[in-house]
Amino acid sequence: AAEVLDETFRTALEGESRNFRESSSSLLFAFGLAIILIFLVLAAQFESFKDPFVIMLTVPLAVFG
């Protein structure tokens, strides 16, 4: 632990770590797109932008409470 690596030392993700990183970024994009789609459907149903916003904020709180 007392030795310091030189500046040419590099690391790279390979194998499972690389696959996990690539799939998690696409999963995050799909999750965000799903949230937007749900919001738009609720906004169309309630004919308001405020009501779906309130509903989507209370759902995570209801899960924990």
pLDDT, one tens digit per residue, over 43-53 is 999 999 999 99
**In a domain? residue 5:** no
For residue 40, what are the domain limits?
15-64
Q: How confident is the model at residue 32 (pLDDT cuts 50, 70, 90)?
A: very high
**In a domain? residue 6:** no
How far apart CA 51 and CA 41 sit, in angstroms, is 12
**In a domain? residue 31:** yes
Domain count, the chain: 1
Structure letter (DSSP) for residue 47? T
Contacts of 55 (CB under 8 A, 6+ apart): 42
Q: What confidence score (pLDDT) does residue 1 get?
A: 55
pTM of the model: 0.64
